[in-house]
């Protein structure tokens, strides 16, 4: 058996294991259980089809109709273990109703496991091309496509799948390494605070409690992907992709890493009487004038975890005069663990930083 056959057999076995787990969970009415990470699914599809998908739920929790989007190739995916006709029809209807056709030309539904033998023709109101045989795919369809790929690509896919289900020995190594990772992160936190922050005089303690950014020696830092080769040039990037370097504005440290605040200034959010909230669009958002909503200014807090940070270089660059932070873009092509909305603290108003509850975010009409 040659190397190509060995790798394909490995992929077949791993997908079969996924399918068996999903079937068992579904038999217990545990549909769409998170047995593998959204990141893994995203990386897998990008590797198979050469897409640039990212998790749209990172930008907006419970994003309607789709889970993954690639605005550069204009394709979107709904990922589900529910193969029923009703589920797919609801996905198609929601995709159209939310106007996603303006950003994506094709909608794919990936069934985690095995799809039905047949489906009816879905009503797309002639606003979307949706061919059942092409746009509803399952593990069998993935395997058919994978088998046509070059051997190095097949090996890469095998590594992605086996990482999700490591052997007992690999799990033991990963467990042992967690202690080393914790030790490394604590040391990194201590080093970064020592190098990036100054000693705040007692007269500034109260100010720093409201606006922690004043503790930092610099107002900004250059954040660079470890694979960046473009700095200091500013290059156009495809829609949906982040630049390989950017200038970030310090706000604070949080429990898992460094917290930046968006340099785009503050936006606006609306809250209903139940505490549910949503972000207002910049242009002509009529919800701003709805008396049922309270309008507040808001900021984006960008959280880079220690796990993603590779190195801190305190030698300021000659173009901007700031230190550099080298990171891995590990979550859907971004250096952020999460993006949190809220209101930055203001010392003069004695207003402390307030983070909005992501579980209360809804698409308010």
Q: Where are the alpha helices (DSSP H) in the chain?
A: 3-27, 38-49, 56-59, 85-97, 132-135, 139-146, 151-164, 168-196, 205-210
Range of 189's domain?
171-360
Q: Is residue 54 in a domain?
A: yes
pLDDT of the residue at 229: 84
pLDDT digits (tens, 9 = 90+) for 10-24: 899 888 877 777 766
Is there a single domain that holds both residue 160 and residue 18? yes
364 φ/ψ angles, rounded to the nearest 5 degrees: -80, 140
Residue 91 CA to residue 5 CA, distance in Å, equals: 37
pLDDT of the residue at 27: 55
Structurally, how many domains does the chain consist of? 2
pLDDT of the residue at 181: 84
Q: Is residue 38 in a domain?
A: yes
Q: Which of 140, 165, 190 is at the close of a domain?
A: 165
Strand partners, 325: 223, 312
Q: Is residue 265 in a domain?
A: yes
Q: Which of 142, 165, 188 is at the close of a domain?
A: 165
pLDDT of the residue at 169: 46
Is there a single domain that holds both residue 147 and residue 186? no
Residue 280 CA to residue 303 CA, distance in Å, equals: 22
Is there a single domain that holds both residue 356 and residue 320? yes
For the chain, the first-to-last Cα distance in angstroms comes to: 59
Q: Is residue 284 in a domain?
A: yes
Cα distances (angstroms) measured from residue 304 to each of 58, 186, 311: 14, 15, 13
Over its length of 365 residues, how does the chain's per-residue pLDDT go in tens digits?
A: 678 888 899 899 888 877 777 766 565 555 444 445 567 788 899 999 999 998 886 656 557 789 899 999 999 999 988 889 999 999 999 999 999 999 999 999 999 888 999 999 998 888 888 999 999 999 999 999 999 999 999 999 988 887 655 544 444 445 546 778 888 899 999 999 999 999 999 999 999 999 999 999 999 999 999 888 889 888 776 656 788 999 999 999 999 999 999 876 678 999 999 999 999 987 788 999 999 999 999 999 999 999 999 999 999 988 899 999 999 998 878 999 999 999 999 999 999 999 999 889 988 98
88 φ/ψ angles, rounded to the nearest 5 degrees: -70, -40
Residues in the chain: 365
Is there a single domain that holds both residue 131 and residue 188? no
pTM score: 0.55
Quick one: tokens of 36?
A: 């593998």
pLDDT of the residue at 16: 83
pLDDT of the residue at 223: 96
Is there a single domain that holds both residue 23 and residue 156? yes
Three-point CA angle 50, 74, 270, nearest 5°: 125
Is there a single domain that holds both residue 62 and residue 90? yes
Residue 338 CA to residue 254 CA, distance in Å, equals: 12
Is there a single domain that holds both residue 283 and residue 343? yes
Residue 29 CA to residue 179 CA, distance in Å, equals: 36
Q: Is residue 79 in a domain?
A: yes
pLDDT of the residue at 139: 92
Question: Which residues are within 8 A (CB) of 298 and not within 5 positions of it... i.e. 6 or more apart?
Answer: 266, 267, 268, 269, 279, 341, 342, 343, 356
Strand partners, 324: 222, 313
Q: Is residue 142 in a domain?
A: yes
Quick one: tokens of 356?
A: 């909005």
Q: Is residue 241 in a domain?
A: yes
pLDDT digits (tens, 9 = 90+) for 257-315: 999 998 766 789 999 999 999 999 877 889 999 999 999 999 999 999 999 999 999 99
Nearest to 64 by CA among 93, 35, 41, 106: 93
Is there a single domain that holds both residue 48 and residue 136? yes
Is there a single domain that holds both residue 127 and residue 195? no
Is there a single domain that holds both residue 107 and residue 48? yes
Q: Is residue 365 in a domain?
A: no
Is there a single domain that holds both residue 264 and residue 140? no
Q: Which of 165, 194, 228 is at the close of a domain?
A: 165
Is there a single domain that holds both residue 200 and residue 177? yes
């Amino acid at each position: 058996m040659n190397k190509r056959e060995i790798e394909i057999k490995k992929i077949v076995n791993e997908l079969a294991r996924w399918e068996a787990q999903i079937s068992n969970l579904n038999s217990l009415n545990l549909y769409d259980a998170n047995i593998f990470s959204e990141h893994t699914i995203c990386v897998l599809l990008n590797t198979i089809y050469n897409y640039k998908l990212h998790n749209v739920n990172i930008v907006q929790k419970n994003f309607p109709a789709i889970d993954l989007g690639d605005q550069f190739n204009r394709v979107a995916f709904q990922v589900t273990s529910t193969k029923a006709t009703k589920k797919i029809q609801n996905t198609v209807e929601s995709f159209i109703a939310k106007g996603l056709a303006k950003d994506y030309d094709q909608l794919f539904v990936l069934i985690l496991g095995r799809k039905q033998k047949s489906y009816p023709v879905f009503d797309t109101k002639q606003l979307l091309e949706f061919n059942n045989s092409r746009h509803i795919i399952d593990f069998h369809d993935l395997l058919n496509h994978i088998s046509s790929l070059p051997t190095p690509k097949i090996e890469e896919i095998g590594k992605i799948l086996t990482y999700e289900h490591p052997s007992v020995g690999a799990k033991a190594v990963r467990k042992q390494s967690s202690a080393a990772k914790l030790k490394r992160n604590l040391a990194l936190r201590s080093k970064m605070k020592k190098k990036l922050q100054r000693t705040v005089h007692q007269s500034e303690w109260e100010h720093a409690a409201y606006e922690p950014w004043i503790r930092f020696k610099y107002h900004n830092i250059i954040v660079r992907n470890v694979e960046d080769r473009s700095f200091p040039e500013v290059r156009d990037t495809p829609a949906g992709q982040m630049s390989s370097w950017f200038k970030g504005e310090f706000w604070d440290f949080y429990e898992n890493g460094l917290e930046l605040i968006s340099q785009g200034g503050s936006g606006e959010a609306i809250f209903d009487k139940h505490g549910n909230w949503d972000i207002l669009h910049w242009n002509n958002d009529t919800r701003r004038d709805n008396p049922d909503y309270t309008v507040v200014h808001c900021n984006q807090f960008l959280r880079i975890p220690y796990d993603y940070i590779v190195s801190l270089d305190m030698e300021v660059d000659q173009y901007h005069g700031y230190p550099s932070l080298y990171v891995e873009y590990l979550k859907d092509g971004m250096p952020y663990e999460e993006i949190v909305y809220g209101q930055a603290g203001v010392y003069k108003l004695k207003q402390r930083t307030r983070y909005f509850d992501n579980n209360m975010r809804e698409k308010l009409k």
